[in-house]
Amino acid sequence: MAMLAADLSSERRSDWSLPVAVYGVYLAVCVFAFHSTALAMAQTWLSSSSYHHGVAVAPLAFIMILSRPRIDPATGPLGLVAVIAGAFLWLAGAAAGVALVEQFAFVTLLIAGAWVMFGASAAKLWALPLLFLYFMVPFGEVLVPALQTFTAKAVAAMLTLVGTNAAIDGTFIRTQAGLFEIAEACAGLNFLLAALMIAWVYASQTLHGFKTRISFIAIAAAVALVANFLRAFLLILAATLSDMRFAVGPDHLVLGFVFYALVFLVLFWIGAKMKAPNGVGPEHAPVRARRAWRFSVAAAAFLPVMAASAYATFVIDVANTASLERPALLNAPGWRLLEPPRNWAPSINADHVEAATYDRAGERVYLYLGFFSHDRPDKEIVNALNAPADGETWRKIAGRKDVVYLFGESNEIALDILAGPDRRRLLVATAYWRGDDIYTNKTAFKWAQMKDKLNGSNPPGGIVMIAADYADDPAEALARIRAFTSDIERFDMWRNRMRRVS
């Protein structure tokens, strides 16, 4: 009996030892080849409270995989298509300077590698645990402004519904008790991510059938969003009715934790109702391999990874040695040039920054220009670090788009509404330039940047921010910005003045 057990154990090791070893080497090569992406993800896990969960994702996925029935490994040639797609996606993200795309592609390569090394049957059996790895990507920040806006509007509507007067100004809500802000921490992203992760693990390990599992995850997302609306509503209502005696300070956190605990109990109750009568877990039976494990197929997965890394090193990341062009302010006939504004300074991480105030008959606009010799990881032109609001003295409370005549063309442009000290409001229009082209859309800029860098080109560029104050209606600030942009010089004239004469 002991000999039989030893034989079985030996057979199991021989089935898995080589595929697991090769996949381990593949993981190491991916981390080495794309170390900047992996390091950026890890730094975000450790530095941001919203993404501490990233550390636990891979171990949880591994535990879920181990809980599945045993399956014989076999290489999956079709997985090579996913590896190639992941490598191309990473190159596109690196060239465009979009960290989210790079990180999504990196995790895609890890998942696709498992498909290649262990076969299609394993990929199907481990689908949910493998897809769970995408929670390693620090995604969701782009949703925060929308979540803040939706939460503020929902809370204001609910307060009005129960008879409490509420006025909304961007992400601020005013009641008779005072002014409340739906801050980034109140947007609900943390709770949404936590609910999705817990629902994913619960569905993967407890529920039966792909449709049932996905339905439960979707329900968890909806419940998390609605729950955050209700939490903010109850806190503001309690603070208003108690004249700021309750639901503020430590009460705010305690009530939030209690409320979220109740929400998770409701989610688990829903999950229990969705269980199959026989209480099944993973429904797949052990599967025998249809074909032999082939080292040549497994080795082919390394090629796209190494090729993408080499192309990035020798083409995309080649340093641009061009010196910074001579920075120049914009000429605007009829407008008097004054000192830079002292009451507003955006966040711009550029090689050089110029600022000025323009005045015409008492009507003022503020200008900030960021100049970059070339786009690179520590100095990206379109980046979250470059924003009209610094997040401290000034905060973005709303956004909109409108048509503005700028540099000889009428284009829809992003407009940010900022709240500052003493209830001041500022409307800021932001545009970007790269080489000899102006952009009012971030996506269009990133697309052009991607194509340039993939072709080995990396011209100079910059940021243009034009702002104006307003008292009650942002339309008055927009009218002032339009008056200024209609009078500034053409883009080609401004660019010619910036070029150095050799």
Low-confidence ranges of the chain (pLDDT < 50): 1-14, 280-286, 289, 501-502
- Six token digits for residue 338: 């004054």
Question: What's the confidence (pLDDT) of residue 10?
Answer: 39
Looking at 247-357, list the stretches that DSSP marks H as alpha helix, in order from N- to C-terminal side.
250-273, 295-300, 302-311
Strands (E), 324-449: 336-338, 352-360, 363-372, 395-406, 409-419, 425-434, 437-439
Phi-psi region of 348 (alpha: psi -120 to 50; beta: other; left: phi over 0): beta
- Six token digits for residue 281: 């877990």
Backbone angles phi, psi at 93, to 5 degrees: -65, -40
- Six token digits for residue 1: 């009996």
Closest by CA position to 247, among listed 263, 262, 223, 231 = 231
Looking at 97-249, list the stretches that DSSP marks H as alpha helix, in order from N- to C-terminal side.
99-118, 120-125, 127-132, 144-161, 189-206, 210-241
Whether this model's pTM surpasses 0.85? yes
The percent of residues above 70 in pLDDT, for the chain, comes to 91
Buried-state track 140-171, b at ≥16 Cβ within 10 A, e below 16? bbeebbebbbbbbebbbebbeeeebebebbbb
Question: What's the confidence (pLDDT) of residue 433?
Answer: 95
Domain spans in the chain, listed from the N-terminal domain onward: 15-139+293-316, 142-273, 336-498
From CA 432, how far away is CA 441, in angstroms rounded? Answer: 8
Closest by CA position to 116, among listed 331, 302, 241 = 302
- Six token digits for residue 228: 């955050």
Closest by CA position to 48, among listed 138, 140, 134, 147 = 138
Question: What's the confidence (pLDDT) of residue 501?
Answer: 43
Q: Is residue 80 helix, strand or coil?
A: helix
From CA 400, how far away is CA 416, in angstroms rounded? Answer: 7
Q: Is residue 225 helix, strand or coil?
A: helix
Question: What's the confidence (pLDDT) of residue 2?
Answer: 40
Q: Which residues pair with 379 in a beta bridge?
A: 376
Question: What's the confidence (pLDDT) of residue 129?
Answer: 95
Question: What's the confidence (pLDDT) of residue 9?
Answer: 38
- Please write the tens of the pLDDT for every residue from 326-364: 899 999 999 999 999 988 999 999 999 999 999 999 999
- Please write the tens of the pLDDT for every residue from 154-205: 989 999 999 888 888 888 888 888 888 888 878 888 889 999 999 999 999 8
